[in-house]
Structure 1
Amino acid sequence: MLNFHRFDDAVTVAQQAAQLDSNNKEVNMVVRRTRATAGARSKGNELFRLQRYSEACIAYGEGLDHDPYNSVLLCNRATCRSKLGQFEKAIDDCTAALNVRPSYRKARLRRAECNAKLEKWEACLQDYEVMIKETPEDNEVECTLKDAKVQLEKQRSQVMSDTKVAPSEAFLALSPLLQAPPPSSSKSPLLPSIAPQFAPSRSSTVEAFLATPQKIDFVVVVSLSSLFS
């Protein structure tokens, strides 16, 4: 793994090692890999500057073929992917970079921003909380942290609201029947042949049901025992 945070330093160290032992195959292989990684990074940076983000992604990927755990290349590719709207892939790259280098603030910030784009506020908040602990004087992070908290509360409130659904059509159709007063005549309009003592009346169960606002969507099944108890 060549994971030097500064590419120039990595190339210099590799070249010095090669000079000390020019016949060492492993050292020469490291030199080649280091140069290829540095070249891919330079190419990717130039393409990014030209806003050719897809091509820049490919260039950084070529560098990662030589050094899969290079946190700088992973973060740079994440930036390209976020520019392309590929936020999930960008998050994956940032996470990989942070696994290699947990203190990599740029990768953590990029991941927080991508989670915000996806409205994954809880994950977003976790990264901002880490950053504010590292630099409590950072006003920009503090403001973004507060906004993430507000958005998370709104999201939770919306989820709670979405679980409360209006009554179903079946309930609305039966509602007038349930709310109708008992008939004064001994003959029920629904069952004319039933004796007066069996005339429809609302049971205590139905009364309690009607007295409570119902916001859960369901199909009401009314039995004879509840209508004529």
Structure 2
Amino acid sequence: MSALEPKQKLVYAILEFLNDSIKDGTVRSDDQESMEVAMQCISESFSVEWSSDSPNSALSVKPSSLLSIFEVFLKTQKKVASTSAESTSQPTQSTSQTNKSQEAESLKAAGNQLVSQRDFSAAIAKYTEAIQLDPTNPVYYSNRAAAQSQLGAHDEAIEDALKALEVDPTFAKAYSRLGHGYFSSCQYEKAVEAYEKGLELEPDNTTIRNSLATAKSKAKSSSSLNTTSNPPGSSNSSRGAMPGMGGPGGMPDLASLMNNPMMAQMAQSLMANGGMERMMQNPMVQQMMNSLGGAGGGGMPDISQLMNDPAARELASSLMGGLGGGAAGTGPNNDNAKP
């Protein structure tokens, strides 16, 4: 193909377009003669043989036309322009996000500096600004949780730690913050669970390991204390309790003892049937009397020990039976012993 041929094809396509415009009425009848003269000049200038009666198949682009080819070009140009605009806007958006992330990091660093200065309220404000710029970074929530804990806002610290884990469930430090929040709120079992999950993610983290050991110890002692303070069945009436004693193991209410008509009646019964002499021979009773008298500095007697002695219990039962058994099972619930 010679260098001239593409130009000749283009010229021929133009001549075909002008000829079609005359035929379809695009060119007014008054202008047709002028158009035909112009077409003749174009064909001669480019050395293109033109005749509307005998088309040159070697140069013609039919069945296409210059107009259809131009329309394809315009559509292609529009698509290219649209794609170019999108590719231009994407770097702009990416750059904007990068700038926000950098600003958020600067705010985090400022918050860390304030924490080192123990200005926790100001640090929380900086971390909050960082979160607003980049809510997908779990470190910002975790750091704010630490600052919240320093102010004693443990509920808020727990909330921030949970949010950090929502963003990144593999962030071990967030579990450590969560464990600390639960521990400080006396939720020791939950603290143990949080520390255990953190240790699963970072088995070599000695801080989490030590915190877990402390939480386990506290949870165990707390559980033991609850069991001791509220043993099984303690919600029932204090069975076998003497009036005013507050149940087996309770400290005796001396004022109630002295003013209780039943105790006065019991004392009279003891004096009448020789029970006082038998009771005083019981070692447990002697120990109790010594304690009440201040002997040995032993303090108040352990009533539960006394009532666990078979002889003392039998004596008390017989005495209470003589009084109609009204004392059995009538003691109040030991609510004061509950945590």
Find out whether 1:23 has 2:89 as its counterpart: yes
Provide the C-alpha distance between the structure 2 equivalents of 1:39 and 1:85, rounded to a whole number of angstroms. Answer: 26
CA distance in 2, matches of 1:34, 1:142: 33
Offset of 1:149 from its aligned partner? 1.9
Q: Which runs of 5+ in 2 are unaligned?
A: 1-85, 239-244, 248-252, 273-320
Q: Which residue number corresponds to residue 120 of structure 1? A: 187
Contact 2:172 2:199 (C-alpha < 8 Å) held by counterparts: no
| Amino acid in the other structure paired with 1:33 | K
Task: Tell me which residue corresponds to 1:33.
Answer: 100
- 1:206 paired with 2:273, answer no
Counterpart pick for 2:121 among 44, 54, 57: 54
Q: Given the alignment of the two structures, is residue 100 of structure 1 paired with residue 179 of structure 2, yes or no?
A: no
Aligned length: 181
Which residue does 1:167 correspond to in 2?
246
> 49-58 vs 33-42, which deviates more?
33-42
Q: Which AA in structure 2 matches 1:46?
A: Q
Matched, 1:151 2:218: yes
Cα shift readout 1:26-65 (whole Å, capped 9, x = no counterpart)? 4455345334323322322332333322111101101112
Contact map agreement 2:127 2:144 (CA 8 A) in 1 = yes
Q: TM-score, normalised by structure 2?
A: 0.44
Look up the match of 1:193. none
Q: Deviations over 1:188-214 (max 9, x none)?
A: xxxxxxxxxxxx9433x536448xxx5
The 1:52–1:167 alpha-carbon spacing in structure 2 relative to 1, beyond 3 Å, is same
Equivalent AA in structure 2 for residue 176 of structure 1 = M
Opposite residue 23 of structure 1, the aligned amino acid is: S
**Cα RMSD (Å):** 3.8
Secondary structure class of the residue paired with 2:326: helix
Within 1, Cα distance between the matches of 2:95 and 2:265? 88
User: What amino acid sits opposite 1:147 in the alignment?
Assistant: T
Q: Pick closer, same or farther for the CA change 1:175–1:102 going to 2, 3 Å.
A: farther
Distance in 2 between residues matched to 1:49 and 1:183, nearest whole Å: 76
Deviation at 1:95, TM superposition (A): 1.1
Letter in 2 for 1:88: D
Identity across aligned pairs (percent)? Answer: 22
Higher deviation after alignment, 110-119 or 74-83: 110-119
CA distance in 2: counterparts of 1:46 and 1:120, whole angstroms = 30
Deviations 1:70-113 (A, max 9, x none): 21110111122222222221121111101211111111112212
Quote the offset at 1:137 in angstroms.
5.0
Letter in 1 for 2:103: A
Distance in structure 1 (CA, Å) of the matches to 2:145 and 2:156 = 7
Give the letter for the 1:107 counterpart: A
Partner Cα distance (1:31, 1:134) in 2: 29
